[in-house]
Amino acid sequence: MSVFTLAQVMALFWTLAEGLILIGLGRVLFLIGGKRKRSPVCDAGGVLGFVLAFLILFHGESLLGGILDLQRAPCLTFYRWALWNFFCTLWVVLEGVIMIVVFRIFRILRFRESPAGPDSCRIPKGSSWTIPLLVLSLFGLYAFYQIQVARMMDADRLTVQGIYHLSLFYIRICGVFWILFEWTVALIGVRTFVLLKGRHGSSPWNR
Amino acid sequence: MEPMTDLFHALASGFTEQVYLVLTRAQGILWSLADILIVFAFLKIADLARGKGKGKRILYRYLFLGLSACLTPLLLLCRTSRDFFLLECIICGIQFSILLYSLIAEWKNILDFLGDGICDHRTR
């Protein structure tokens, strides 16, 4: 298996894994938040998104070759790296949403037995825009970056190596977000475990 | 937009694969440590849920997590981005597989465990 094919397979695997984790955490949030119904639109959207991701990853060049001039090396390089950068952005978005969901779960678990009552663990007004804002901001950053590179390709005849270097830099921007979001989830995860252990007593194996 | 174009030009010529690899190693260590902590915390919560339901303790998943932790420092020794990517595939593959398997295997335990708290609260 070539590195290129491995990258395609891992892109799908990571997207599927994070998507399933997000769905699972969303279900937990629904349960402990007192809601029982899950939106079928979200599930259908997730399945459709995954199918689209598969088609674009493995058949995108043949499907879009007629529209984009992928015969030229700079265009093909830009397309392939823009696609990889899209998936990097998607993983940042998924992890960002996971971070918000995990924080909401922790908030509910922490405050549901507080003297203020169950209302104290409701999501504050205005914070329902957090997830859409996060998604739009991150995909907006991706769009801005790729448009800037495309403009430079048209205007300044950016070389293949220049496109490659710019794409590598974008991946490192995503890396900053990965670190930020994953450490936040990690610390909330540890606090959640400490909270649950304190509420429900020690595990039989920790005596 | 001139300063932005100048910045992009500077990056296009200056952000070489060597610079990328140095930053990637540093970032890779940081996010891998966070991943290890996430999976560990999740397994501990799953163990709590199992304990309440009198189930067996998780063992092999901790061992696999330990394996991924042992492989993580090797990220610093990768000489090419290709080597880094291959090693990261193995490490992330192990960690995501543990998370996915645990999510599926412990689903009922965890929902019952978290759901108990809601019932206790409502009956007070």
Q: What is the mean pLDDT of residues B43-71?
A: 87
Q: pLDDT at residue B8 above 70?
A: yes
Residue of chain A with shortest Cα separation from B99: A21
The minimum CA-CA distance between A38 and chain B, rounded to whole Å, is 15
B68 to B63, B87, B98: CA distances (angstroms): 9, 10, 11
pLDDT at B58: 82
A45-54, A76-85, B34-43: range with lowest mean pLDDT: A45-54
What is the pLDDT confidence band of residue A47, given thresholds at 50, 70 and 90? confident
pLDDT at B59: 87
Q: Find which of A145, A169, A207 to mutate to test the B interface (most B CBs within 10 Å of its CB).
A: A169
Q: pLDDT at residue A27 above 80?
A: yes
pLDDT at A2: 80
Maximum separation of any 2 CA atoms in chain B, in Å: 67
Q: How far apart are CA B32 and CA A174, in angstroms?
A: 15
Residue of higher predicted confidence among B69 and B56: B69
The minimum CA-CA distance between A64 and chain B, rounded to whole Å, is 26
Q: Are B32 and A183 in contact (CB under 8 A)?
A: no
To the question of pTM greater than 0.95 for the whole model, the response is no
The minimum CA-CA distance between A55 and chain B, rounded to whole Å, is 22
Q: Is A195 on the interface with B (CB under 8 A)?
A: no
pLDDT at A205: 44
Residue of chain A with shortest Cα separation from B23: A172
Q: Of B38, B105, B118, B122, whose CA–CA distance to A199 is shortest?
A: B118
Q: Is A179 on the interface with B (CB under 8 A)?
A: yes
Residue of higher predicted confidence among A115 and B119: A115
Q: Are A182 and B33 in contact (CB under 8 A)?
A: no
Q: Is A197 on the interface with B (CB under 8 A)?
A: yes
Residue of higher predicted confidence among A47 and A10: A10
**B70-114: per-residue pLDDT in tens?**
999 999 999 998 999 999 999 999 999 999 999 999 888 888 888
pLDDT at B75: 94
Q: Is A190 on the interface with B (CB under 8 A)?
A: yes
ipTM over 0.90: no
- Concatenated DSSP letters for B41-86? HHHHHHHHHHHHTT-PPP-HHHHHHHHHHHHGGGGGG--SHHHHHH
**Measured between CB atoms, which of A31, A156, A168 is closest to B115?**
A31
A6-20, A85-99, A128-142, B103-117: range with lowest mean pLDDT: B103-117
B36 to A165, B65, B70: CA distances (angstroms): 30, 7, 11
Residue of chain A with shortest Cα separation from B28: A175
Is A31 close to B114, i.e. CB distance below 8 A? yes
